[in-house]
Amino acid sequence: MGVLWYTEWLSPLEAHVHGIKEVIFDGWTKYQRVTIAKTGSFGKVLFLDGYAQSSEYDEFIYHESLVHPAMITHPTPRKVLIVGGGEGATLREVLKHDTVEHVVMVDIDQELVELAKKYLPEWHKGAFDDPRVELLFMDGKEYIEKTREKFDVVILDLTDPIKDTPGVLLYTREFYEAVKKILNKEGVMVTQATSTRYYINAFTIIGNTLREVFPYVRLYKVFVPAFYSEWGFAIGTISRDPLSIPQEEVKRRLKAMDLKYLDPEAYAFLFHIPRYMLEKMKKYTQVSTLENPLELAPWNHQT
């Protein structure tokens, strides 16, 4: 039997070809193509619309980096909103904080979540069954614009703002203003902010846009091997700069959790943006709005 190869296009001129040992699931939900497969290099991998969403080998790097800087920036996060994050790993990391009393997770794709429950236990580790969790299947933007709830932390684990997809609307100034309205007085939000290698423009523009809304904004990144890139994130806060947190507090709160990647040294390095990247970022001054949104060109072709 020959090897099955799965091509993931990282740019118009670059691709990563995965050797597939076993296809666990391949099909379409109402919203996207879902492939779950055992690969030669990264173990089990979740692909969405042809892109590696997360891998068994290194998903914890992405999810710990997305969740914990925002959770630690808030002094005592009790109520948390997650938008997206269908694998359940973002939820898993949020629940590691012993101050958390209630988590609302909103994902538009119920079929994906059901597939994750069945095929990705290494990701969610039973988090969906935690009594603190309220799971809603609806459009995250609609939820944020209509809810009367208030949250300490909002985590946006979203798809990229690809042109002609609903994700474009979730990176605009108007959307971030809606997020700010549902935050408590010490509220913190964090969003994934795309690849700093392939989309340095988007990474920068997301930061520009957040600065139109929040008093404190910090961009940061972490290298994720399965993405062949450092991956970007952006925090917006109402009252506390993430870099003003005492080092002893960071150490204490990280130590209280069972983490695989983040320690105080790795945590501090997240926020170091190297000089060459800062120089590139100077070229991009756009603020993403409904009238002039950040839109990334699609180039992926699944084979």
pLDDT at 301: 38
Q: Tell me, what's the pLDDT at 164? A: 87
CATH of domain 4-53: 2.30.140.10
Contact 140, 83 (CB under 8 A): yes
The hierarchical CATH code for the domain 59-281 is 3.40.50.150
Strands annotated E in 85-215: 102-106, 133-136, 151-157, 183-195
**pLDDT digits 0-9 by tens, 65-90:** 999 999 999 999 999 999 999 999 99
pTM: 0.96
Residues of the chain with pLDDT under 70: 1-2, 299-303
pLDDT of residue 44: 98
Enumerate the known binding-site residues for spermidine. Answer: 63, 87
Q: What is the pLDDT of residue 12?
A: 84
Give me the active site residues, please: 157
* C-alpha to C-alpha distance for 210 and 237, rounded to whole angstroms: 9
Q: Give the domain ranges of the chain.
A: 4-53, 59-281
Known binding-site residue numbers: 32, 63, 87, 107, 139-140, 166
Q: Give the phi and the psi of residue 111 in degrees, each rounded to 5.
A: -60, -40
